[in-house]
A and B are shown apart, each in its own frame.
Chain A
Amino acid sequence: MSKPEASHRHKVGALLFRHETILLLVLLAEWFYFNAVGRKFGTLDNTFDIMRHSAEIGLLALVMTPIILTGGIDLSVGSLLGLCAILFGKLWRDAGLPLPLAAACTLLIGLLAGGLNAVLIARLRLPALIVTLGTYSLFRGFAEAITRGVDTFTNFPDSFLALGQQHFAGLPTQVWFFLAVAVGIWLLVHRTTFGRSLRAIGFAPEGARYAGLAVERRLAQAYILAGIVAALAAIIYTARLGQAKADAGTGYELFAITAVVLGGTSIFGGVGSVHGTLLGVAAIAVLNNGLVHARQPREMAGMLTGALLLAALSASALPKLLAKFRPLRHSAAPPSSP
């Protein structure tokens, strides 16, 4: 039992390593190209700017990684970001709560919203794709209904805006939050039994159950974590833009999923890494920012991100396809049964 598993893991490890190396090369190529084309691209200020703009999508991608590792998906994170931003503004402006308390309540709301996904997916065992498609519509709908589509929350105090617009200890303030979450999730996924159970669930949910893992609880935790971090991303988003609107975070789920898949995490679950996701986020962020500096049309960023996603997927599918043809040529080799 242990031997095939070890060799399998070794193979997967090698593949991951290759995937992440390729991604790193793509990132470097992007960097050098845009540095050569855009005049202000390579400056420190612009580097900070890229970090600032990628913090929210980065946070969503980080918590999407454990979910996709289990073979699930969460389409509702962008809508939840919008709902949390609205409720945060509402709690502060209309309910008159002090900002730290409003922020705490927002995180609690994120937890509850993630809990809704968790109950439906983990407890009732409904398909994650359709459940989160439903909550994608539900959360955005609540945000629109609460603001009646027009209400915008602005005039936040400077001390709060500093979170999204100022520096702290040499880095943009929100980057510290991002790094803290990144380290936390990396440790969670790569250094704890929690992370190992997520992979096990992604490989074979039934097998994980028979092996005595608390499949239901692990799945629930992954979706609840996504809710809390989406709420954190909403607060940072509001601080960066200085306003909260019902359409906050529209389409962010796409960028988050793209970053995760680009980072080498299999959409079928079981295989993937948090550092891969970080590289994926960086590749998308640099592309978005660089195209502006290279005076390319805005739409190019979306098109290239989509193309990059397809290319990454195809690249990861090719070895499997080629492997399928190999036994034909070496028919003498005995079939290995794990």
Chain B
Amino acid sequence: MQKYGRELSVAMVLVALLLVLAVVAPAFYEPQPLLSRLAREAPTLVVACGVALVMVTRQIDISIGSVFALCGVCAGSLAAAGWPLVAVFGVTVLIGATLGAVNGALVAGLRLPSIVVTLATMVILREGLRWKQQGAFINLPDAWQWFGLSQRSGQITLIVCSVALLAVLAWASRNLAGGRFLYAVGSNAEAARLAGLRPQWVTLAVFVFMGALAAWAALLNIVQSPQVDPKSGTGLELKAIAAAVVGGVAVSGGRGNLWGVFVAVLLLACINPALTYLHVEAYWEKAIQGAVILLAVIFDGLRNRRQTT
């Protein structure tokens, strides 16, 4: 219980918010809007899982919004060219992994700081995409929306896809050797090296994985609408990092639990509708998101201080 105190406290905040909403705005719980809202958050959840693992390894990736947009456009173009669904999915994930590998190679190979490397690749990819696409949307074939299913079952599929991925990753990061490597390298890279791990390869791997997850999230995003927006994913990195921090992942590496991230994604997703129902203007969303990040780090900071003294 003590071990998961951080995650439980976020869960309690979420439950409190949900209770307030149940009293003040029962309309929040109408099934169809709720389902749509959850489906819209599915890509965020996938990306947040990836970024949490990157942060556990003591790195950061802020290029994910751009990778997300680029993969969405690539998948859309391939789909419009008539490629079958499975092939598009495979190629898109491969593209994402390759872009992640570029980040990873620069960070792990040349030992450059990940914040600056991914800042640079974020801009290069975003501007490159704008140059190529000039803001033009891509029309998807009809069979693509909701994987060709009805809206309702499509949304359920999306939610199941992302939550299942989360569950597998949460289990793997705790129980598989590969997952433990991330924590080991993030806690103390030198100790991990002395224990026989290769921190540089672990770092490279986590960036490749992050790229693949960003591509997967982009796929879960584009099937939700008839068109692909080349500007999608702007600010996604911020949302994902916010979810990871609120969920209890330490920026200093080696600490964090994906279930905490899951709760945090739900919490952040509830803030905006809560604002609407509580008659606060939606323009406050960004400010509140910032305040939530600050509160989470302040909470962690005070908690650590109490534990060390």
Contact = CB atoms under 8 A, between A and B. Distances in A.
Contacts of B298: 120, 124, 126
A136 B290 contact: yes
A131 B281 contact: no
A320 B111 contact: yes
Interface in B284-309: 284-291, 293-294, 297-298, 300-302
Given A138-B287, A140-B286, A141-B284, A267 B116 contact: yes
Given A127-B251, A300-B131, A138 B119 contact: no
Contacts of A127: 251-252, 297
B245 to A, nearest CB: 6
Interface string B201-245: 000000000000000000000000000000000000010011001
B127 interface: yes
Interface in B233-277: 238, 241-242, 245, 251-252
A132 to B, nearest CB: 10
B123 interface: yes
A319 to B, nearest CB: 11
A214 B109 CA distance: 36
Nearest to A267: B113
B290 A134 contact: yes
B127 A314 contact: no
A321 B113 contact: no
A318 B111 CA distance: 10
B110 interface: yes
Interface residues of A, number: 47
B297 A130 contact: yes
Interface in B86-118: 106, 110-113, 115-117
Contacts of B122: 306
Given A120-B298, A140-B286, A306-B127, A134 B115 contact: no
B298 to A, nearest CB: 6
Contacts of A300: 127, 131
B71 interface: no
Contacts of B120: 258, 306-307, 309-310, 313
B126 interface: yes
A113 to B, nearest CB: 12
Contact of B128 (A130, A137, A138, A299): A299
**Most A CB atoms within 10 A — which of B113, B126, B286?**
B286
B131 A303 contact: yes
B130 interface: yes
A258 B284 CA distance: 30
B124 interface: yes
Interface stretch (A8-16, A36-44, A143-151): A143-151
B121 interface: yes
B73 interface: no
B131 A299 contact: yes
B60 interface: yes
A102 to B, nearest CB: 22
A19 B33 CA distance: 57
B126 to A, nearest CB: 7
**Most B CB atoms within 10 A — which of A130, A142, A258, A307?**
A130
A254 interface: yes
A127 B251 CA distance: 8
Contacts of B110: 313-314, 317-318, 321
A306 B124 CA distance: 6
Listed from nearest, the 7 A-B pairs whose CB atoms lie closest are A141-B287, A138-B290, A137-B290, A141-B286, A302-B127, A134-B293, A299-B131
Given A134-B290, A317-B111, 17 more contacts: A127-B252, A130-B293, A133-B293, A138-B287, A138-B290, A138-B294, A140-B286, A141-B286, A141-B290, A145-B281, A145-B286, A147-B283, A267-B116, A268-B113, A313-B106, A313-B110, A321-B111
Interface of A: 73, 120, 124-127, 129-131, 133-142, 144-145, 147-149, 254, 257-258, 261, 267-268, 297, 299-303, 305-307, 309-310, 313-314, 317-318, 320-321
Interface of B: 60, 106, 110-113, 115-117, 119-124, 126-128, 130-131, 238, 241-242, 245, 251-252, 281, 283-291, 293-294, 297-298, 300-302
13 contacts: A125-B301, A129-B251, A130-B251, A130-B297, A134-B291, A137-B238, A138-B286, A140-B287, A148-B283, A303-B123, A303-B124, A310-B120, A318-B110
